[in-house]
Amino acid sequence: MSMRHGARYAAPQQPAIAAAQADPANADLIVFRLDFDGQKAEQRPLRVTGQSTLIAFNGRTETGRLQGESANRAVARLIATTRG
């Protein structure tokens, strides 16, 4: 993610995402980042309606989403929804 215009909104989420990535329970976690201002076409199929949106998937199935949430526990709960 570039630190362009929209990135200031996602910055508070980065520590929670990094903590989740460091957790051995999430060894298969893959994180994709989209630039809210520059990647509109990629956001449409994901129905992203605002900045700082986290979307969790298990395969092709969406398991949950958060918008604007940066608390480690909330992000960890979201990621836990991806485990069958």
> Which residue ranges make up each domain of the chain?
7-80
Cα–Cα distance between 54 and 8 in angstroms, integer? Answer: 15
pLDDT digits (tens, 9 = 90+) for 34-79: 888 899 999 999 999 988 899 999 999 999 999 989 899 999 999 9
For residue 4, pLDDT over 90 is answered with no
Higher-confidence position of 68 and 5: 68
Cα–Cα distance between 41 and 58 in angstroms, integer? Answer: 22
Cα–Cα distance between 34 and 40 in angstroms, integer? Answer: 9
Write phi, then psi, for 16 (nearest 5 degrees).
Answer: -65, -40
Does the CA dihedral 54-57-81-31 come out positive or negative? Answer: negative
> What is the pTM assigned to this prediction?
0.80
Distance of CA 8 to the CA centre of its chain: 15
